[in-house]
Chains A and B, each alone.
Chain A
Amino acid sequence: MKNKRKVNENISGSEILLLSLLEEETDTVFGYPGGAIMPVFDALYDYKKELRHILVRHEQAAVHAAQGYARVSGKVGVALVTSGPGATNTITGIADAMIDSTPVVVISGQVVSSLLGTDAFQEIDIVGISQPVTKWSYQVRKAEDIAWAVAQAFYIARTGRPGPVVLDFTKDAQLATAGYYYEKCKSIRSYIPCPSINKDSIRQAAEAINSAEKPFALVGQGVELGNAEKELLDFIEKAQIPSAWTLLGASVIPSEHQLNKGMLGMHGNLAPNLKTNECDVLIAIGMRFDDRVTGNLNEYAKQAKIIHFDIDPAETGKNVDVDIPVLGNVKETLPEVTKLLKKVSRNDWIESFDIAAQEEYDKVIENEIYGKEKYITMGEVVRCVSEATGDEAVIVTDVGQNQMMGARYSKRKNPRSFISSGGLGTMGFGLPAAIGAKIGAPDRTVCLFCGDGGIQMSIQELGTIMQSNVKVKIIILNNKYLGMVRQWQEMFHNKRYSATPMLNPDFVKLAESYRIKGRKVSQREDLNAAIGEMLEHNGAYLLEVEVEKKGMVFPMIPAGTAVTNVILEK
């Protein structure tokens, strides 16, 4: 059904837009109608079969859903909104996609071009507003430019380091007619998506690893974005390099892989954080040395030679001085280096991670995931859900303690199984992202972990779940606090709990009013049965778990301190 229309037949700009989306293999659009985008929604009425429209309840959620869809499927997510407030509401989602390199195209309506610049009803300069948080932002004022602009937008969003693109269509461009001819964009002269491979840096990287005694790899989302999970495993297995991951790289290496040494950063695992300052060669792969990973840069891996694989030249040397930058797509650069690596065994070095891992297990993990106190702990819920899904689910988190617990205590067997707002840390991301993830991977179980705070930042999306029958499993870890902020208040602000206690609605009743099945659990003995019921239910499900009110996420590296400054307990 791609070509309902003959080439060069004069059709409306709106229809050109939809045909162009189909050319880019779009099957789902997350959106919300309004005055300036009505011609597109009108045209959509004729394309219901080819383009599924998911009606969200707020435009920010349209973008987060498009992000969830993109992250789980590897395709470009699409959001469709009106002008003015419809467009400004997308900004948080766009900024989130920018900092987390998620390919999305946000299509906004705009007032008719004769009214541009006049403060017309629902007019906003969305191109200007979105420029700092997009890879590309462009306004189309003529129907004949639409196909070209869509081709550019998808090419820019998906190639190189992916990111968000905004396309703003004036209403007259949507209504006018033009000849339709679609040509996919293959290059843009001023845009080099992927730097060419430098053979010297490949050789230098291999030499450094071959002569290393204690190499250590830091794995980020870049590997997943490059679909290079296999190439990464070949690389670390051949040279026996113990590896740790960033929050967004959580599902790159299977959790049970013997070289997977856990999570990096502020709430990461003890061993990889300590080993960062002990290794002799630090190999960063598709990650960007975020401050939540590095802590104080003046005390970060000063002893190590640093190799940085990245597709984005602006990332090498941005935060950490790099000895050997290896620019390019890791899908291509990693195998080049792997070819030159010597097969070695490094059992002593690999096993040396076990000491700290055991210490962390004894002091933190065991109590957290087996909940030995009276109240259910957050980590316990995450472990039980993960086990009940055979570690096969797509785990989505909101932001805060639920996010850290979700990352630390769920396990992953498959790539593209962990979706979270990393860079921007957007509370309210979880629920719409889970909706998008379920639509992007309909055959997989999608479990969302969120707090009682974050869920209420996008709780209106329960309506989307109801209307579009999105079978997500929502687990609210309810501690009646904005937990992560409360934790910082306890540790760094003399237990002055300013604006963190939450008076909450009855979440199960709320779900019920949206015709979503739900259950609340307060006792440990009910937990597994409730999780079983949730997973067996053929539909969306909301499980509210009353957890320890003052639960803490440990280990913790206080912001701005050295990566070795790990606090394990109160």
Chain B
Amino acid sequence: MNQKLYTVTVYSENHVGLLSQIANIFTRRFINIESLTVSASAINGVHKFTIICISDIKLLEKVVKQIEKKIDVLKAYCCTEDEVILREIALFKISTGTLLANNTIEGLVNKFNAKILEVNDHYTVIEKTGNQAEIQELYKTLEPTGILQFVRSGSVSITRSKYEQLSDFVASGVEL
């Protein structure tokens, strides 16, 4: 077993109950899902799942084929970390008092390419978009000053290849 981080993308109909069917396939093979995002894709009426997991490629290829067997699934793909650009969004809430008292924070926000989303008397919300490591780094940097709340999203991904996912499906003549 050669465990690595992979991104599984699934294109599907927008039907009730599909999420649990897909999750079940991972459960059967005892693969933990690290991150999951589901949203409308660029194609009208088609939904996209982005699933990040750590697994062995041979096992994951079997999982992908089993996902594709689900009636409502159009296509599923598996990509390595190098083949995709992954992005998460994180929100940090810190006390405005701390922000004003500590004049390094604004510099940090700029350095990390983050932005201040909202400021009021009580708190300030900072937004950071990046990969997991970048967000983690900002968290570590802000932590000593006190973080009131922190949330991060699941990852979204875009492929690095010139070839577009689902294009073979479109080419096969199926109307989307």
Contacts and interface: CB of A to CB of B under 8 A. Distances in A.
B121 interface: no
Contacts of A191: 71
A314 B62 contact: yes
Interface in B54-112: 61-62, 65-66, 68-69, 71-74
A314 B20 CA distance: 20
B98 to A, nearest CB: 45
Contacts of A127: 17
Interface string B115-153: 000000000000000000000000000000000000000
Interface in A118-149: 127-128, 131-132, 135-137
A189 B175 contact: yes
Contacts of A314: 62, 65-66, 68-69
A137 B24 CA distance: 15
A313 B61 CA distance: 11
A64 B46 CA distance: 37
A132 B24 contact: yes
B13 interface: yes
A142 B73 CA distance: 24
Nearest to B45: A189
Q: How large is the interface on B (under 10, 10 to 19, 20 to 34, 35 or more residues)?
A: 20 to 34
Interface in A166-206: 188-191
Interface string B15-49: 00100110010001000000000000000000000
A128 B20 CA distance: 8
A138 to B, nearest CB: 9
Contacts of B72: 190
A135 B72 CA distance: 10
A313 B21 CA distance: 19
B152 to A, nearest CB: 30
B1 interface: no
Nearest to A314: B65
A156 interface: yes
Interface in A494-508: none
B24 A318 contact: no
A312 interface: yes
B171 interface: no
Which one of A131, A313, A314 has the greatest number of beta carbons of chain B within 10 Å? A314
Interface of A: 127-128, 131-132, 135-137, 156, 188-191, 312-314, 317-318
8 contacts: A128-B17, A128-B20, A131-B17, A189-B174, A190-B12, A190-B74, A312-B69, A314-B68
